[in-house]
Structure 1
Amino acid sequence: MSRRRDLAKRALDLTVALALAVVTLPVQAAAAAAIRGTLGSPVLFRQRRPGRDGVPFVLVKFRTMADVDPARGLVDDAARLTPLGRWLRSTSIDELPTLWNVVRGDLSLVGPRPLLMQYLERYSPEQARRHEVRPGLTGLAQVAGRNALSWEDKLRLDVEYVDSRSLRGDLRILRATVPLLARRVGISAAGEATAAQFHGAAGPAS
């Protein structure tokens, strides 16, 4: 049963991701040209993220931030995020290149979002269970509130997804994601350009 479910999920991932990647090529080309004109090269942002079982892969997105430049005050995310980058994030156009990560098998359409490598050592054993499945472009935490949720709630929902996942559930999450993208809900946490860092259950080190 589990193998059939995984094969059906992979077939859905490939079918939808390839179709969306092809259909959105004009949008991707326009976004790439706009980024090249405002930020220069590179157009793409690449970063190692933990995949299934914590195995790293290279996530690819459109670049939305200027390089760190203390002389110009470009240090934190809020300062580095460009107006174009803010719009690309609010529309999720910045994530269109990530469809190729789905095609490659690094990601699934639905699953816990791939976070930062340094977070691996900060999870509780229960939170770390989010890596028992392939990460996704969208997930239960995203349709429940995205970055407007606390870290505790997001990670709890990630584990809930791991325990209750099904193809039918994935389809429900995909359907719920579409209107949220149109409404641009939960893009950033309160007072943050995107989301505050996750410091673990104990919070920031003193």
Structure 2
Amino acid sequence: MTMKRWIDILFAISIGLVALIPIILCASLFFILYREMPFYVSIRAGKQARCFRIYKLKSMRQSFYKDGKPLPDHMRITGFGRFMRKYSIDELPQLWNILIGDMSLVGPRPLPVTYTSLYNERQRKRLSVKPGLTGLAQVNGRNAISWEAKFEMDVQYVEQQSMKLDGAILFQTIGKVMRGADISQENHVTAESFQGTTE
């Protein structure tokens, strides 16, 4: 087992025990306020595009038009959900993903499986490592920058990864989370869907 994996496990256990309190409180409050299951489960692409289930605290309601199509994000997100997203509380359940080995502390963020076929050759390099709870793109703009910029930083991380770089990213992440910075793209609740890169 690598040093990086040992650090992931120790962090997931130690921080996870503390995180149980806000996870339970936020999950309970979401259920009380909106009478919906408080956890969101999604299939994401991990290392080598292997599919896995990612866990998050739900920040949006399950609301639909009469024809059954879901309402747009800005109509479904809740005030409480905005608060959780601002301080990344909704991401805390992913400590479980780290513990069981689907994710790492640091790496490219895990994205929907449907994006995999849209990557160009260079962008696909982001799939050569485990996805992370935070990453180089998250401390350099997060959702406030373009997909192309995020993917380029993901590839840079893959090419330059080291324990020193991981430590620097984790340190910067703390400041970003405390400030609630770069949560969404301009004029979007979160991030606009990736449609592929025009060469």
TM-score by length of structure 1 reads: 0.92
- Give distance in 2, aligned partners of 1:169 and 1:200: 28
Show the 5 A alignment for 1:95-174: 95-174=91-170
Is contact 1:109-1:137 (8 Å) kept? yes
Say whether 1:23 aligns with 2:15.
no
TM-score by length of structure 2 reads: 0.95
Q: Could you say what secondary structure the match of 2:53 adopts? A: strand
Aligned to 1:53: 48
- Give distance in 2, aligned partners of 1:151 and 1:43: 28
- Give distance in 1, aligned partners of 2:7 and 2:88: 21
Q: Could you say what secondary structure the match of 2:111 adopts? A: coil
Q: Could you say what secondary structure the match of 1:109 adopts? A: strand
RMSD: 1.6
Is contact 1:111-1:133 (8 Å) kept? yes
- Give distance in 2, aligned partners of 1:134 and 1:175: 20
Which structure features the higher share of helix residues?
A: 1
Is contact 1:66-1:74 (8 Å) kept? no
Q: CA deviation at 1:59?
A: 0.2
Q: Which runs of 5+ in 1 are unaligned?
A: 1-5
Q: CA deviation at 1:68?
A: 3.2
Is contact 1:73-1:79 (8 Å) kept? no
1:86 to 82, 87, 97: 82
Instruction: Give CA-to-partner distance per residue, 1:131-167, whole Å, 9 cap, x none.
Output: 0000001000001110111111100000000000011
Is contact 2:36-2:61 (8 Å) kept? no
**Mean Cα displacement is larger for which, 38-47 or 172-181?**
38-47
Equivalent position amino acid for 2:61 in 1? A
Equivalent position amino acid for 2:31 in 1? R
Equivalent position amino acid for 2:83 in 1? W
- Give distance in 1, aligned partners of 2:43 and 2:55: 9
Q: Structure 1: which 4+ aligned runs deviate by more than 2 Å?
A: 71-74
Q: CA deviation at 1:74?
A: 5.8
**Mean Cα displacement is larger for which, 8-17 or 64-73?**
64-73
- Give distance in 2, aligned partners of 1:143 and 1:134: 18
Q: CA deviation at 1:55?
A: 0.3
Equivalent position amino acid for 2:140 in 1? A
- Give distance in 2, aligned partners of 1:74 and 1:107: 29
2:34 to 39, 42, 62: 39
Q: Which runs of 5+ in 2 are unaligned?
A: none
Equivalent position amino acid for 1:128 in 2? R
Equivalent position amino acid for 2:170 in 1? L
Equivalent position amino acid for 1:32 in 2? A
Is contact 2:44-2:52 (8 Å) kept? yes
